Structure 1
Amino acid sequence: MTTNKYVRQMKRLSIALLCWGMTSGAFASSSSTAQCPSSNFGEFVKAFSSAPEIRKAFIASPVKYVHVTADGKIPKVVERSLGVIAADELKVLLPENAAESVLTIEIKEPNRVVVRDEAGHFLKIFVFKHSDCWALSRVEDWAIDAVMEEITQSEKLTPGELELKKGVIFDRLVNKASPESGIYLYAATLDSYLDGARKGSAQAAFAAAGISLSGQAPRLENSRILALLIQASEQVPDAGLTLADFYCDEGEYDENHGCINPKESIATLERVARLGSTKALIRLGEVYEAGALVAADLPRAMACYRKIQKTDPKTATVLVERLAARGAVSDNSIQCFEAGSF
């Protein structure tokens, strides 16, 4: 009787094991034999974003997850391995969800999807790995609004200053990202600066123009760069110098063509010099000494150089002596700011 009981127990155990094996085998077979929805990456992404069963079949395990946290006052990039990706992480891949949140979706060959806004508030990059088909292998969440709140919680910021600081952090985070992702961090940097400029920050306006002209971030239209530099030059002297250059070259650094708008360039240098910029005075002197934008006028160049003696006597002495060696003399009747017909 004991033997029969043991046999019955073993039969039940065998049946249970068989059923478990069949079930788990069927699941494994379903995952491993799922058909790749398309050999075209763009079409694959459309199917992946809209069909839950495809998402389930084509997510790697584990998935690398990157995000930014605050380590005291310092932003820190953290990377983790996740066995499961929350469904909310993938909702933004659906065009209707993205549109509802005013986000844009960019499918970048060969293996990336970038979801972002135009103010530096949202930036997620989905990276896929390809073998027989694509599989989501990495999610990068570069949104830093929560980090900024923690970093600046004890600071009193002027309008636009938070966005300026955020742009600076995005710029620094580029060094922590791959070159492919860094492109979008530069774009987020520009977006943050532009947001700060809209809120009244002259420094943010100057930074936006600068990073656009640098070629790191997307190039803005010349009219917009000009407006940013004009806004910035009202409070930032160095922005006035950049504006004077922009009137001449419009950001195209070709020494072979002449100044496009010399009148506005010199007028800008004068305005900034009147605000107390030693650099603008030196630049004005160089303009009149070289005769590049107007006819050479050494006495007027001398007047500009002598005008900086109170603020930078060492530089002034060198410049005045250089002109004197060329035969220029000081003439108190000639003023630096009397820019001829300008």
Structure 2
Amino acid sequence: MKWFSIALLSLGMNTGAFASSPSDAQCPSSNFADFVKAFSSEPEVQKAFIASPVKQVHVIADGNIPKVVERSLKELATDELKVLLSENAAKSNLTIEINLPNRVIVRDQTGQFLKVFVFKHGDCWVLNRVEDWSLEAAMDEVARSEEPELSERELKKGVIFDRLVNKASPESGVYLYAAALDSYLDGARKGSAQAAFAAAGISLSGQAPRLENSRILQLLIQASERIPDAGLTLADFYCDEGEYDENHGCINPKQSMATLERAASQGSTNARIRLGEVYEMGTVVPADLPRAMACYREAQKSDLESGTSAVDRLATQGVVSDDSIQCIKAGSFR
């Protein structure tokens, strides 16, 4: 995907002491991908081309709140680098991605494992930072006190990844958003409507990778079955398929209206207000101001402020309330 290959040439090149290296150690390659291949498989190259001190970032549990800890180490534990070897990564269902100009990302597809290895270049490439964003240990600590359901654990993990973006560099933040999406998707597979809604939302936002439209549709349908307000997002998606272009009309107006009506019938006041807006503006179906008034009046019963404001706006246009007209029942799209 394009978002995986963005070249971030302005990456900080802060200086730091190199690890003492054998006098005969030679740089395997000035090409980053070739260097990483040698670095991952040859222990002597690793010893020669790791900065000292080397920065290490990891996440711990601080009560119920994961906390980012950064420290400087004279040397890395050998185990830290094992995942860079393709055979080891494959055994753990991990993927290795080289992100130019200077990062190697090792991750899985469920949000359980995420490490970022950051190199800098002088006479040769040198590993100077290891970021371990994996949350499983921290989540285990949280689970001991909260005992969330499995699907809700994945939802919470996705939320934490999303929040941790503020603690990461923009270059690493891209992968935290991806891990959040993976966590939400895992939660959705395990039955969480909230996780399904969050997965669709973060994908449509552009922060995380864009899922196929068919997958987004599945997620929004799953979410809307238990979260009435998710029906609003689903109704919008039926109209624009996530492409926010005001110049084209609604792609599937019947499905969009049926979804809004169903959400309103499930108790969503926001859906009733949206129905009123649709009938008022005529953007999905032909404008019908008396029907819009009926929808706003129904919304007024549970949201006095928004409903009253909309009712008053139509009243100033000469629209009169008519008790014989209902927001949903007459002319239903369902």
TM-score normalised by L of structure 2 = 0.90
C-alpha deviations, 1:133-191, integer Å up to 9, x for none? 11111111111111011123122423411011111111111111111111111111111
Is 1:253 paired with 2:244? yes
CA distance in 2, matches of 1:339, 1:199: 38
- Please, which runs of 5 or more residues in structure 2 have no aligned partner? 1-18
**Residues 160 and 197 of structure 1 are in contact (CA less than 8 Å); yes or no, is this contact kept in structure 2?**
yes
Amino acid of the residue matched to residue 277 of structure 1? S
- The residue number in structure 2 matching 1:113 is 104
**Residues 55 and 70 of structure 2 are in contact (CA less than 8 Å); yes or no, is this contact kept in structure 1?**
yes
Shift of residue 30, structure 1, vs aligned partner: 6.6
SS at match of 2:144: coil
**Residues 159 and 200 of structure 1 are in contact (CA less than 8 Å); yes or no, is this contact kept in structure 2?**
no
Shift of residue 46, structure 1, vs aligned partner: 0.5
**Residues 20 and 48 of structure 2 are in contact (CA less than 8 Å); yes or no, is this contact kept in structure 1?**
no
CA distance in 2, matches of 1:244, 1:215: 19
Is 1:103 paired with 2:88? no
CA distance in 2, matches of 1:341, 1:170: 42
- The residue number in structure 2 matching 1:242 is 233
User: For the aligned residues, what is the CA RMSD?
Assistant: 1.6
Q: Which moved more, 1:306-315 or 1:73-82?
A: 306-315
- The residue number in structure 2 matching 1:21 is none
CA distance in 1, matches of 2:221, 2:153: 21
Is 1:33 paired with 2:24? yes
Q: Name the % identity.
A: 77
Specify which structure has the higher proportion of helix.
Answer: 1
- The residue number in structure 1 matching 2:72 is 81
**Residues 178 and 209 of structure 2 are in contact (CA less than 8 Å); yes or no, is this contact kept in structure 1?**
yes
Shift of residue 80, structure 1, vs aligned partner: 1.3
**Residues 116 and 124 of structure 1 are in contact (CA less than 8 Å); yes or no, is this contact kept in structure 2?**
yes
C-alpha deviations, 1:269-290, integer Å up to 9, x for none? 0000001111100111111111
Q: Which has the higher contact order (CA 8 A, sep 6+)?
A: 2
**Residues 64 and 79 of structure 1 are in contact (CA less than 8 Å); yes or no, is this contact kept in structure 2?**
yes
- The residue number in structure 2 matching 1:125 is 116
Q: Which of structures 1 and 2 has the bigger CA Rg?
A: 1
Q: Which moved more, 1:187-196 or 1:235-244?
A: 235-244
SS at match of 2:154: helix
Is 1:288 paired with 2:279? yes
CA distance in 1, matches of 2:83, 2:206: 29
SS at match of 2:238: helix
- The residue number in structure 2 matching 1:151 is 142
Q: Which moved more, 1:261-270 or 1:319-328?
A: 319-328
CA distance in 1, matches of 2:227, 2:332: 27
Amino acid of the residue matched to residue 114 of structure 1? I
Change in Cα spacing, 1:183 to 1:30, as seen in structure 2 (3 Å) is: closer
Number of residue pairs matched by the alignment: 315
- Please, which runs of 5 or more residues in structure 1 have no aligned partner? 1-27
Amino acid of the residue matched to residue 96 of structure 1? E
SS at match of 2:280: helix
- The residue number in structure 2 matching 1:232 is 223
